[in-house]
Chain A
Amino acid sequence: MTARWMTPLLLFLTGAAFLLSLMAGKVWIWPAAWLSNAPDGWIFLELRLPRALLGLGIGAVLGLSGAVLQGYLRNPLADPTVLGVSSSAALGGVTAIFLGLNTLPLGLFSCAMLGAGVSILLLLTLARGGGPLGFILGGMVLSTLAGSLTAFLISIAPNPFAASEIINWLMGALTDRLMEDVIKALPLMAIGAALLLTMGRALDGLTLGEDGARSIGVNLTQLRWVIVVGVGLSVGASVAVSGVVGFVGLIVPHLIRGIMGEQPSSILLPSALGGAILTLVADSLVRLTPGPTEIRLGIAMAVLGAPFFFMLLWKQRGRAA
């Protein structure tokens, strides 16, 4: 009964959070001023609109990727940040900047998506058989490695200005993104998300374990590749445009499961909507914090997400490892 109304309610809340994100800030901009010629109209079109669209997009793909990865690995601790997919995408992006590939059209995006895709492929191939925690440990190793290589590239960057630009981007934020970047990122994220959304029933099949899923006719090889491409595109594009915003994919599916039940297919779309709501609201709140500079969204999410991870880990005790 509650589950039935959940998706429409989440859709409504997503719309509300989007509107909030368009209006909230040091300067509140009410709808009447959105298309005016006053400075408020300029702030709206050049700053608020791209920022809100990005929040909507990256929140949705991060929530959805978390739900898909958790379903595939049958592990509620999986998420693009925990598995090192986001930091690998960041490494891809930094490599692109280092090699000057970012001057090519979509150069930065391609490298970030490649980084994300390769990391998920490595993880799904190498960490199999390691049990539920094998993937998490594998992800930690990938994440640390990608972080170190990123730091290395920054340390040998010829130009200190470029280095500080990179660090700024990596920290994860939706501020000062150009509409041009948003227009590049959104279609890539949408394609990735659409791919992932078609995998619901195959993920349901994995409730029976791998042998069970194969025996009912799930093509696991195909599923794995769709996840590699879908997560690669969507998480890669989101990192390329807004750096590492962590833990959305960890927090949201967990909360959604509490309401919708645990069937993997029934939490995919709600997790995407929930991710968008969380990101839009969190991004509006960081804008409203007093002080000369705002808190980075990526940092705020990490502060929120890390305790959440430990809470989930605590709840896991007693469940078969």
Chain B
Amino acid sequence: MILQCDNLYFAHDTHPALEDVSARLHPGQFSVILGPNGAGKSTLLGCLAGLLKPRSGWVNLGSDPILALSDAARAKMLGLLPQGAQTHWAITARALVALGRYAHRKGFGLTAEDQKAIETALIATGTGSFADRLVTELSGGERARVLMARVLAGEPQWVLADEPLANLDPGYQIDMLHLLRDQASSGKGVVAVLHDLHHAVRFADHVVLLHKGKVFAQGSVADVLTSSNLAAVYGIDAKLFSDEEGAIQLLIKGKTAP
């Protein structure tokens, strides 16, 4: 089921955040939204998640306009990890993960199916060992994985994540990227807003590069993150190269001359 947006316009008050943004995102791919601060990355993700209503344009999930879906129907198909993922009360990690079943639950208590989805999500994120601890007592890295487990517990076909690596140590960042990669490999659609170009180069199947609210380029890493595009959007002097193992890497040499 393709997630796509056509000619999105979105404005915060009068300041346009997105202008004429179109993108087609495919299941089975790890799509990454890139762009400098204020380029409209989070706004685009919010529109794709059906949480923000664009001034004009469409977001379609398969053949359905996403805003036409009920809250529950949308939540079952599409899981979102919001930015700066918060936990306001000291509840256990397991109770937090169980929130991912909200749209699936009927009546009181958790069904066997709910329990199974929760256990699977705990295992996939490696959070089972501290499932009974309070989320407020966990480290930032542990909590980030619990919050991702909450998204996976809903068994969505699409996983959207807004800066899932923020405040994580390098090791946890790689764990999280592998987790998202695995979700895409299992056939889900994954869309993440990332800041670090190196991560995007190593993990993304598809890149949407935003600049001042518009799509500057989109496609494969090699097509989008060219030296000229990086210079134009970020003002940096950088180039892609193949390392000794044949993997594509990014070398950032400095800022471009003004």
Contact = CB atoms under 8 A, between A and B. Distances in A.
Given A205-B102, A261-B91, A262-B91, A214 B86 contact: no
Interface residues of B, number: 31
A211 B51 contact: yes
Interface in B80-114: 80, 82-83, 85-92, 95-96, 99-100, 102-103, 105
16 contacts: A74-B89, A204-B91, A206-B88, A207-B91, A208-B96, A208-B147, A209-B82, A209-B85, A209-B86, A211-B80, A212-B86, A215-B51, A217-B72, A217-B75, A217-B102, A262-B91
B86 A208 contact: yes
Nearest to B105: A201
B71 interface: yes
A88 B102 CA distance: 35
Given A201-B102, A214-B71, A263 B82 contact: no
B148 interface: no
Contacts of B88: 74, 206-209
Contacts of A207: 87-89, 91, 96, 99
Interface in B225-251: none
The 9 closest A-B pairs by CB, nearest first: A217-B75, A217-B103, A215-B80, A262-B89, A74-B88, A211-B82, A216-B102, A209-B86, A217-B72
Contacts of B85: 208-209, 212
B95 A263 contact: yes
B61 interface: no
B97 to A, nearest CB: 11
Contacts, number: 76
A218 B102 contact: yes
A194 to B, nearest CB: 16
A263 B91 contact: yes
B79 interface: yes
Given A212-B82, A219-B71, 5 more contacts: A201-B102, A207-B88, A208-B147, A209-B82, A209-B86
B49 A215 contact: yes
B212 interface: no
Nearest to A200: B108
Interface string B145-169: 0010010001000000000000000
B74 interface: yes
Given A215-B75, A216-B103, A217-B76, A208 B150 contact: yes
A264 interface: yes
Interface centre among B79, B89, B95, B103, by most chain A C-beta atoms within 10 angstroms, is B89
Interface in B32-88: 46, 49, 51, 71-72, 74-76, 78-80, 82-83, 85-88
A217 B82 contact: no
The A interface is mostly helix, strand or loop, or mixed, namely: helix
| Chain A: number of interface residues, binned into ranges | 20 to 34
Contacts of B79: 215-216
A217 B95 contact: no
Interface in A183-225: 201, 204-209, 211-212, 214-219
A217 B71 contact: yes
A218 B101 CA distance: 11
A124 B139 CA distance: 33
Contact of A216 (B75, B83, B91): B75
A261 B100 CA distance: 20
A264 B99 CA distance: 12
Interface centre among B78, B86, B90, B154, by most chain A C-beta atoms within 10 angstroms, is B86
Contacts of B76: 217
